[in-house]
Amino acid sequence: MARSEEPSIGKESGGCQLRKAVKVYNRVLASWLPERCQHCGGAAARGLCQACRADLRPVLDPCPRCGLGRPVSRCPRAGEPWSVSTLVAPLRYQDPLDRYVHALKFLSDRRMGRALGLLLADHLRTHDTVASVGALVPVPLHRMRRLERGFNQALEIAWPVASAMQLPVLTAGIHRRVSTRPQARISTHERRANLTGVFHVRRKLDGLTVAIIDDVVTTGATINSLARVLRSAGAAEVHAWAVARAPPSANG
């Protein structure tokens, strides 16, 4: 299991003991019941069955800095100072993966978050940047958006990655203080302006190498904006790990 970010204080409350008992019960139940594919319902071992995994298309020959397949015709690093050391986003954002991400974000299918996180974790096992990372930072949601959705999809993806890599997940003191317009509906230039001053870090990251976790990277404006403030808080390096990479739109 991933290390907890905050130490427990004092005696456990009855509610805490109950939650632990429920977790133990769920683990025992899961050991007896076969796992089902989160998409088709077939037999699965890690979120999605092999057939559904085979339908996903990888990014071919990705650039390690921007994650786009090479040759890169529209590199996002050319338009602004780039604060992300490396970007790992192994899958192309197309059908059926786009439907899986939509189910997580807009249909409240939180179990799909685990399935997507396991996909990302399996890819990261062979990636050479993993060893240097000391903590994960899921892209935060504004508090109003989180209240509407009920959860942060980046955090749902981060948990299985954290468990697989034995890394802590940092959320305290890392905030999205402005509720921005949906990034998918605006141009590349507008995205950059949309994210100015959005993120705020109120914790020290002196010398720590972190990896940002997100679902999909398109222009890279979101992860780059967050990486910038993480570096300002003292992070030595900032990598970005996402499930999918979408090419920037032609109108960017």
Instruction: Give the pTM.
Output: 0.81
Q: Which of 77, 121, 120, 112 is nearest to 219 (CA)?
A: 77
**Per-residue pLDDT for 219 more than 90?**
no
Q: What are phi and psi of 193, to 5 degrees?
A: -65, -35
State how far the Cα of 220 lies from the Cα of 82, in Å rounded to an integer: 9
pLDDT digits (tens, 9 = 90+) for 151-168: 999 999 999 999 999 999
Side chain identity, residue 69: G
The third-level CATH classification (topology) of the domain covering 57-245 is Rossmann fold (3.40.50)
pLDDT digits (tens, 9 = 90+) for 101-132: 999 999 999 999 999 999 999 999 988 889 99
Domain limits of the chain?
A: 14-55, 57-245
Number of H helices, E strands in the chain: 8, 7
State how far the Cα of 76 lies from the Cα of 80, in Å rounded to an integer: 7
